[in-house]
Amino acid sequence: MCNRARNRGEPETLFEHFGGDWLTERPRDNRFNPVELYPKSRAYVFRNDRETGFGLDVMQWDVLGGGAKWPMTNVRRLDLPQWRRLAEKPDNRCLIPLTEFCEWTPEKDPEQGIKGEMWFAVRDQPVFAVAGFWQQTGKGASFAMVTCDANELVRPIHPKAMITILHRGDYDRWLQGSYDEIVALQQPFPADRMTVRGPVFPTRQR
């Protein structure tokens, strides 16, 4: 499951692609790295606000805000009561901008002794949007990415699922559509419009 991703888009670039403006004050502390996404890190997220409209927020990648043993970063079963409660309300839906996401190789490399990182991107979208939903928690605004079946490119690496990448024409439908309409968008992105590179071996202890 995707628990590692990147967003190399500067806010100005994101506004050109998605529109909108800041919904919160731009983070100015050195602890915030908008490029590297991992569980419990903060990330740029687009959402609708009833008072100010559509724009960019900063949220933690764990929709439960630390309320469970493990961070809840990805959700597939939108029909489960705790997730349907959020997913069926447009106010709780969001778009997560990414430039690439990672899945680890199924097996460890015999020479490296660790699993390699396989990095996936969208060929014609330097910045793409992942379907998500969010809520306010004790840790502040927190989000999860929505997953779906894996396509032919992702399946050999991670056969169970992949994140739900939205077509640009479906952004408004995800944010504003009915519950049935957003469930219909839980489809794998076309494999022929994606690229993959790797395995890349991170600098970490074995």
**pLDDT value of position 111:** 82
List, for residues 116-154, the tens digit of each pLDDT value. Answer: 999 999 999 999 999 999 999 999 999 999 999 999 999
C-alpha span between 100 and 95 (Å, rounded) = 15
C-alpha span between 151 and 11 (Å, rounded) = 30
The count of residues in the chain is 206
In the chain, % of residues over pLDDT 70: 98
List, for residues 20-34, the tens digit of each pLDDT value. Answer: 999 988 888 888 999
Q: Are strands 100-108 and 53-61 parallel, antiparallel or unpaired?
A: unpaired
Whether the per-residue pLDDT at 206 is higher than 50: the answer is no
Tokens of 10: 């500067």
Q: Write the CB contacts of 107 (distance below 8 Å, at least 6 apart in sequence).
A: 115
**pLDDT value of position 204:** 52
Question: With the CA atoms of 70, 71, 73 and 79 taken in that order, what torsion angle do they form, in degrees rounded to the nearest 10?
Answer: 60
In the chain, % of residues over pLDDT 90: 84
List, for residues 167-188, the tens digit of each pLDDT value. Answer: 999 999 999 999 999 999 999 9
- pLDDT classification of 191: cutoffs 50, 70, 90: very high
**pLDDT value of position 185:** 98
- pLDDT classification of 1: cutoffs 50, 70, 90: low
List, for residues 74-94, the tens digit of each pLDDT value. Answer: 999 999 999 999 999 999 999
- pLDDT classification of 203: cutoffs 50, 70, 90: low
C-alpha span between 85 and 98 (Å, rounded) = 26
Mean pLDDT of 98-126: 92
List, for residues 41-77, the tens digit of each pLDDT value. Answer: 999 999 999 999 999 999 999 999 999 999 999 999 9
